[in-house]
Amino acid sequence: MFKAMRNYCAGIYQSRYFWWNLTLADLRFKYRRSTLGILWSVFQPLAMTLLLSFIMGRFFKMPMHYLAPYIFIGMVTWELLLSSMMTGCNALINAESYIKLFTHPMSIYPLRSILAVFINFLCGSVGAVGWALVAMPENFSWSYLALIPAGAIIFFWCWSAAIVCAFAGVRFVDLPQLLVIVMQMIWYASPVFFPLDLFRGAKIGWLLNYNPVYHLLELLRQPMLHGSFPALIHWVWSLGVMIVLMLLAMLAVRIWERRTIYYF
């Protein structure tokens, strides 16, 4: 089993030039003839952040210099999670012509789909870090190093979820519509832009304790907004969910990869 897994990962690495060039082609196509190009990955969540910060700041009497980066981090992270699954649903369907021609591991096609949105996320994250440094320079410390493993966890979250969605999407064409409903439910149960005190004040703090999105967001927010290393509970939850998603992805590859070609 471990040998097969090692050979599979080696196949992904050997085809790295192929899927990386597909990713670059996706980015070029997305921003073709655009004036700002990839900077839209910063300006789009920034515009929504400014609007929500103004409204939420008035409602909850929170200072803008804290609330704005809080919302911005939530927006760019949520956009990554949502886009990874939605693009993952069609990753194999859109790559049908390549799958029929080449024998590359099929996991490279969900990888291709999430790399483009992950690059957008990184651009947005750089903007969030810059914003936090300007608004709260006193929080800059060694805790910022926690953002590196946090970014790796987010990446494997997205890739694993995209793999599962990709194989399921070939068989269940209604999966994207179902995911929209599920993700909307998770959106309102997560502190993407709602302040944490809103959940605790409404006596629904348990939604935070058992919501993996909350723990993932805290890996990013605590270093930038509080200047502290994320609490152990956030690492445990985020790593645990990552491992579960990776196991599901490996199971999907093992069961469905050889059969997927018959669904095209």
pLDDT at 190 over 90: no
More confident residue, 253 or 32: 253
By mean pLDDT, which of 29-33, 40-44, 105-109 is the weakest?
Answer: 40-44
Helices (H), the chain: 2-14, 16-30, 40-60, 64-89, 91-94, 96-101, 108-135, 147-171, 175-188, 196-201, 206-209, 212-221, 232-260
pLDDT of residue 59: 66
Nearest 5°: phi and psi at 193? -130, -15
Q: What is the rounded CA–CA span in Å between residue 8 and residue 108?
A: 11
Given pLDDT bands bounded at 50, 70 and 90, which one contains residue 240?
very high
Tell me the whole-structure pTM to 2 decimals.
Answer: 0.89
More confident residue, 76 or 209: 76
What is the mean pLDDT of the segment spanning 89-100?
87
Highest mean pLDDT pick, 98-102, 116-120, 150-154, 196-200: 150-154
pLDDT of residue 40: 65
Cα distances (Å, whole numbers) of residue 221 to 73, 102, 115, 128, 230 = 7, 42, 23, 10, 8
Q: What is the rounded CA–CA span in Å between residue 87 and residue 115?
A: 11
